[in-house]
Amino acid sequence: MLVVLLLAGSVWLARVVSRDRFWRENASQLWRRRPIALITLALFVGIGLMDSIGWVGGGTPGDDDVAALRSRTLIDRLFQPERITESSYSAPLASVSFYGGQPLTHPGRHLLGTDILGRDVVYRTAKGVRVALLIGGFTSLIVIPIALLFGVSAGYFGKRIDDAVFFLMTVLASVPSLLLLIALVMVMGRGTLQVCVALGITGWVHFCRIARGETLKLREAEFVDAARALGVSDLTIIRRHVLPNIAHLIIITFALSFTGLVLAETILSYLGIGLEGSWGQMIDQARNELSRTPIIWWNLTGASLGLFALVLAVNMIADALRDIIDPRTRREGQ
C-alpha cells in the first residue's frame, strides 16, 4: 500500500522534474558531480523497494502454518533467513560458531557473521535499509505537504493567519527537538507510525519556516503583483508561481533533513523507543559486544556501514544540489 503511494509519488515527481527546464539542466550536472553518491542512493532505494514488495506463499516444505502464512518480501526470499539462521554468534565467513566451536548449518555463507540470535548480519542490514528510508522519506512525505500548507498560507495571506502560524511555530520550536521527540513517542506509543509522526512534528517547523520565508519574499515580487493585477485568483498564483519557486529550496531542505531524521532515530533506538529492525536498534543491541573478549565487531560494523553510506550519500547529494542551485547566481557575475 505504502509502496504504491511512494511509487506514485515518485512517478509524479519524475514527470514534474522532466518537464521543468531548470531540473533538466541540473540533473546532468548533479550526475557529473556526484555519480558515486547517486549510485549508492539508487542502490539503497532499490533494496528498500525490494524489501517492500512481499507476498504470502511459496514457503519451504516443513514450515508450520504460521510461517507459511507470513508475508515475505523479496529480501526475505533472497536471504531465506529461516534456513540460514544459526543458533548464536559466529564470525564473518566462519564455519564454526563463536562460542563453543560447533559446526554451523551454513558454514562460510555469513559474510558479516551472525548476531546473538544467529541471524545473518548482512540480511539484517539489508532489512534496515527499508526502515531508514521510511524514517527519512515517509516522514518527510507527511510533513512537507502540511508544512507547505501552513507556511505558504502564512506567508501569502499574512496578518492573522501569519501571526497564528508564527506563534505555533515558535512554541513548537521552543521545545528542544530531542525532548519533544521523546515526549511525543512516550505519549503516543512506540509503533512505526507513531515514531514517524513524532519525527514529523519535530521536523515540521523547519520546513514551515522556509516555506513561509520564501513565500513572504515572493509575495513582494513583481510578477506576483502583475498576476494579481490581471485578476488571477490567489490559489492559482500560489499553484503556478509560488510553489514552483520554493520547490527547489524544499527539495534541498528535504535532503538535509533526511539525514537528521535517520540519525535522530538512532538516538531513539538507544533510548529504547526506536523503530523495529532499524540500524539504530542494531547498534543499540551491538554496543555492548565490543567489550567482550574476543570482541564481536561485525554486528556494529554492518549497521554502521549502512548508516554511514546512506547518510554520506544523501549529504553529498544535498550539498551538490545546493551548490548547483544557490551560487549559480553568485558565481555568474565574474
Query: Which residues contribute to the site for other proteins (CB under 8 A)?
Result: 167-168, 170-172, 174-176, 178-180, 182-184, 186-188, 259, 263, 266-267, 270-273, 280, 283-284, 287, 290-291, 300, 304, 307-308, 311-312, 315-316, 319, 334
- Give the nearer residue to other proteins in terms of CB position, either 55 or 167: 167
- Give the nearer residue to other proteins in terms of CB position, either 148 or 262: 262
- Give the nearer residue to other proteins in terms of CB position, either 224 or 318: 318
Cα 133 to Cα 45: distance, rounded to the nearest angstrom: 7
For every residue of 164-182, DSSP letters joined together read HHHHHHHHHHHS-HHHHHH
Beta-strand pair 54-56/71-73: antiparallel
Cα 145 to Cα 301: distance, rounded to the nearest angstrom: 36
- Give the nearer residue to other proteins in terms of CB position, either 218 or 273: 273
- List the grid coordinates of 90: 559466529
Q: Which of 300, 280, 304 is nearest to 289 (CA)?
A: 300
Least distance CB 311 / other proteins (angstroms): 4
Backbone angles phi, psi at 20, to 5 degrees: -75, 120
Assess contact for 122 and 112: CB atoms under 8 A: yes
Least distance CB 96 / other proteins (angstroms): 25
Cα 4 to Cα 10: distance, rounded to the nearest angstrom: 10
- Give the nearer residue to other proteins in terms of CB position, either 72 or 209: 209
Cα 218 to Cα 187: distance, rounded to the nearest angstrom: 39
Assess contact for 211 and 155: CB atoms under 8 A: yes
- Give the nearer residue to other proteins in terms of CB position, either 75 or 268: 268
Least distance CB 179 / other proteins (angstroms): 5
CA angle, 139 then 78 then 87, to 5°: 95
Q: Which of 195, 194, 317 is nearest to 261 (CA)?
A: 195
Least distance CB 307 / other proteins (angstroms): 6
Least distance CB 14 / other proteins (angstroms): 27
Q: Which of 157, 259, 159, 247 is nearest to 210 (CA)?
A: 247
Least distance CB 260 / other proteins (angstroms): 11
Q: Which of 140, 134, 115 is nearest to 13 (CA)?
A: 140
- Give the nearer residue to other proteins in terms of CB position, either 60 or 170: 170
- List the grid coordinates of 211: 516555506
- Give the nearer residue to other proteins in terms of CB position, either 103 or 174: 174
Least distance CB 216 / other proteins (angstroms): 19
Least distance CB 55 / other proteins (angstroms): 34
Let me know if 235 is exposed, middle or buried by CB neighbors in 10 A (0-12, 13-18, 19+): exposed
- Give the nearer residue to other proteins in terms of CB position, either 50 or 264: 264
Least distance CB 92 / other proteins (angstroms): 18
Cα 207 to Cα 225: distance, rounded to the nearest angstrom: 25
